[in-house]
Structure formats: C-alpha cells, structure tokens
Amino acid sequence: MSCTLPRKKQNAHDGKKQRKSCPKKGKMSTTSLKTEFADRESVDWEESGPKTFFSSLTHTFSEVKRSIRHMRNGPFISFSSFIKACSDYVLLFDRIDNTVLLPIKADMLNCISRLELNKTMSVLAGDSLLAAIQNEVEENKIHGIDSSAQTLIWLLRTLKTMNIFAINLMDMRSSTFRHTNDSFLNAYERVLIRHHSWLAQKMFKAGMKFVSPYETIVRTLIEPKYQGIYFDEMEALLSKECIQYNRDLSDVLEELNVYFTSIGLEV
C-alpha cells in the first residue's frame, strides 16, 4: 500500500506554501514539533492526559513488566496485572474495527475468560500467573486443551501477532512501515499461520485486503482532542506511544517465551 496522506491546510501566514503530506523516513525533530504545538492555542504538547489509544489505557504491560520477579521455578508475574492489561488491550480491536482482526479479538477474550475461570477453580493462593501452570507441569497436565498452559500459550500467540504488526507498521526502521497489509501479513506468517488449519489460513489471507489503510488507523488511534492537528504530528505522537507500549509488551512476551521453552512448550 502506498503512503497517500490527506492534503493539509494552507499555512495562514503563507497562502502558497503547504506542509508536505507524507513525512520523509527518518527521525523527526521533537523540538520542532513542540515549537509548532506551542504556537497553537488549541493544543498543548506538555499537557497531561492521553493523546493516543495507548496512553488512554488504565492498565498496561509496563505494569506487568514491573511485577516480574525471577524465582527458582520460573518468573513471578502478577496474574491480576497481566489479565487487566490484556483486557484493556482488547479495546484496540474496537477502535480499529476491522473484520480480519475479529477472530484474534475473540480468541483473546476466550483465553482471558478461561484463565480467569481456571484461577477461580484453583486451590492455589496468590497472584502468580504461572503458579497454575507450574502445578500442571508437576501433574503432567500441560497438554490438556483447557489447561492454563495451553490457554496462556494461545493468548501469547495472539498478543505476539499484534505486537509484531504494530511495530512493523509504526517503526520507521521497519521494511513495512506505513503498509498495513504487508505489516499484518508478516506478523501472521511469523506466528499464527503455523497453528491454523489450511481453511483458516485462506480466510485470514482473504480478509487482509479489508485491513484499514494506514492513515485511517493513525487517525482512529488518536484521542479526539488531538484530531485537529496535522497528520505528521498525529503520526509522531502515535509512533512514540505505540512503540513504547509494544516494547514493554515484547519484554513480557519474551519472559514468558523463555519460561515455556524451559518446560518444553512452544509459543
């Protein structure tokens, strides 16, 4: 998909000069953006409060990351922090509202519900995400279809797919930067495709043509108060917050991947 951005408004001080509709690849000047924001009464760059979907979330994976403590039988990760972060993340699908992503959303919700149910039914005390799985290891139950181990693994696969998609799409260093179809296809082929049936693969690939254009996704993930700013500023805001959020998510996913590898399971 080519980067075709909406034409920008003419500068009030220069009727002929227009802003470039699509910023060049490369590092954007934060100082320059701050200066432009400062010149507009309607926008305060330093103002606290959410600017994008990612800073609007109550629970994030940075909280999960802070909860991690390394123990003898694997890391301690807060169950409650992890489930809350996943539940908030699901709201992303409502914002993007793409048909091809609905199966991923449904899988995430089902996995969250199953993990919560297993936690309720467990006699294990505490707030450890992996305690139930370690118990299943000891009882040789990690391969059960409704086990906490298999449920968490599938949840991690969906998170990893979306994590790769987001970084592919928003990181300027990515070969698929600004290309939604290519970004999602790459993420799908790196994670979920090998776990899907032939029919599911066909359905996913057919649905990829309906993924929203890059410009639409950027505008959708910007908070309403900032919808009036120039597109390159929206892009800079979203890129910064999206990449930071997904770096935290990547760290959590890697921690869990190492654990599952240690007990002989593949994420």
Tens digit of pLDDT for each residue in 81-114?
999 999 999 999 999 988 889 999 999 999 999 9
DSSP code per residue over 58-78: SS-HHHHHHH-EEETTEEE-B
3-class DSSP state for residue 260? helix
- For 226-264, the pLDDT digits (tens) are 999 999 999 999 999 999 999 999 999 999 999 999 999
Q: Phi and psi dihedrals of 76, rounded to 5?
A: -85, 125
Q: Look at residue 44 in the predicted model and tell me its pLDDT.
A: 58
- For 147-163, the pLDDT digits (tens) are 999 999 999 999 999 99
Show the tokens assigned to 212: 């929203």
Residue with the bigger pLDDT between 80 and 33: it is 80
C-alpha to C-alpha distance for 122 and 8, rounded to whole angstroms = 57
The b/e string for 182-212 (b: 16+ C-beta within 10 A; e otherwise) is bbbbbbbeebbeeeeeeeebeebeebbeebb
Instruction: Tell me which residue has tokens 């091809």.
Output: 100
Per the prediction, the chain carries an average pLDDT of 86
Residue with the bigger pLDDT between 154 and 2: it is 154
Mean pLDDT of 163-192: 97
Q: Phi and psi dihedrals of 4, rounded to 5?
A: -120, 100
- For 3-17, the pLDDT digits (tens) are 433 344 444 344 333
pTM recorded for the entire structure = 0.82
Q: Look at residue 25 in the predicted model and tell me its pLDDT.
A: 40
Instruction: Tell me which residue has tokens 């408004």.
Output: 9
DSSP 26: S
Q: Are 246 and 65 in contact (CB under 8 A)?
A: no
CA-based radius of gyration for the chain: 21
DSSP 148: H
